[in-house]
Each structure stands twice: as C-alpha cells, then as structure tokens.
Amino acid sequence: MNAPYASCFRHLTYAAALLLAACASQEREISPQATSALTQVRAQAVQLKQDLSRTNESAKTLSKSEGPELSSSLSSLSGNLDSLNSRLGMGREAVKSSQDQLATYFANWDKQTRGMTGDMQKTSQERQAEAAASFDSLRASIGAVRNDLSPYVSDMGEIVKYLRTDQTSAGLDAVSPRLSNAIDREPTIQRDLDNVIAEIDAIQNVKQ
C-alpha cells in the first residue's frame, strides 16, 4: 500500500496524534463496510505463505542436486517461482481493491462527521483516528512483506536464469552463496506474512 492508501487518511492526522496511546489498548475492530475487501488480502497472504514454502523447498533441493538431478530440480524451482510471482500479482490486485474500498468508506465517514454536532462529532472523529491507526499499522506490515519478498524473488529469478545457461555442478557452485542467502530469508518473510494475517484478523475482529 503506497500513496493512494496514505492519501485517504491525510485528513485524520490531526486527531491521530492524540489517540496513539489509547489505540493500543482498545479493540481494533472496524466496520465490515471498510474491511470486507481485506478478506481477499488475507487469503492471498495465506496462499503466499504456501507458495513461498514450496519455492524455498525446491531451492533447497536444487542446492543439493548433482548431475542429471540438476535439470529436474531447476525446473521445479522455476515452476514454483512462477506460481509465487503469479500469486504476488493477485495479492497486489487484492490490496488495490482494499485501498479503493477504504478511500470510499473514509470519505463518506468524514462527510457524515462534518454534519454532526457536539459530542457526537468528537466521538466520530476519535473513532476515525482509531481506524486510521489500525490501517496504518497494516500498511506497514504489508510494506515489510514487499521489502523482504521482492529481493528474494529477484535473486531466485536471476539464479534460475543463470542456471538455465550453465546447468553444471560448477555453475551451481558459482551461484551457491547467493542461493543459500535467499533460502535463509524465508523465515523472515513468513513472519512478515503472519503479521499481515494477524493485523487483518484484529481489524476484522476474528477470534483465534
């Protein structure tokens, strides 16, 4: 989530600073009118975890392959990496859909708040700030996934590209340090995805 997402909260920042401490201890549940699209974001995060696991397992297999095994192991990694890339595309679409839903919801909420008076307007402004804080936390979690997963996918893609040309033990040895480094990143990315799922569950008030 980037500039389009952030812009829908710009009008809430004046209240958010006053409520940061309170928000941590309050329920984070937000109306389904604003969060229904997050169900698909969550589903894509769950699928990404599975695709990432399969990709990393095939990368580990490749790292130990010799002779005739190298070609089939490379094909397996390539196929799993293609699936992971496809899933990333679907994840981006799901996030975009949720951005659009949030922008519409907050614009309408703000419009309704301006028509209120006294304590009701104050209460509405406070709830808007709480909701904005929750979604800002989710945005940060999604950003962490993007920042950690992008170099992983890029490195794996370059490794596959190189080994398609040099399918030898010497070729595998040449990319081994980079392959090992990419493999070792999986736990961090899985943690990032778990954080996204947990953030969405908190916003949608899903009981674990």
Which of 80, 66, 89, 71 lies closest to 156, judged by CA? Answer: 80
Four-CA torsion 15, 13, 94, 56, nearest 10 degrees? -100
The pTM of the full predicted model, rounded to 2 decimals, is 0.78
110-151 confidence digits (pLDDT tens): 777 777 777 787 777 777 777 777 788 888 999 999 999 999
Rounded to 5 degrees, what angle do the CA atoms 93, 86, 60 make?
Answer: 135
Retrieve residue 17's tokens.
């600073």
Q: Within a domain: residue 11?
A: no
- Grade residue 21 by pLDDT with cuts at 50, 70 and 90: very low
The total number of structural domains in the chain stands at 1
Q: Is 104 contained in some domain? A: yes
pLDDT computed for residue 119 by the predictor: 79
Q: Quick one: pLDDT band at residue 64, thresholds 50, 70, 90?
A: very high
What CATH code is carried by the domain that includes residue 139?
Answer: 1.20.120
84 located within any domain: yes
Is 21 within a domain? Answer: no
Whether the predicted pLDDT of 165 surpasses 60: yes
Asked if residue 28 is part of any domain, the answer here is no
Domain assignment of residue 166, yes or no? yes
Domain holding 176, by residue range, is 35-111+119-203
Is 15 within the bounds of a domain?
no
User: Domain for residue 128, yes or no?
Assistant: yes
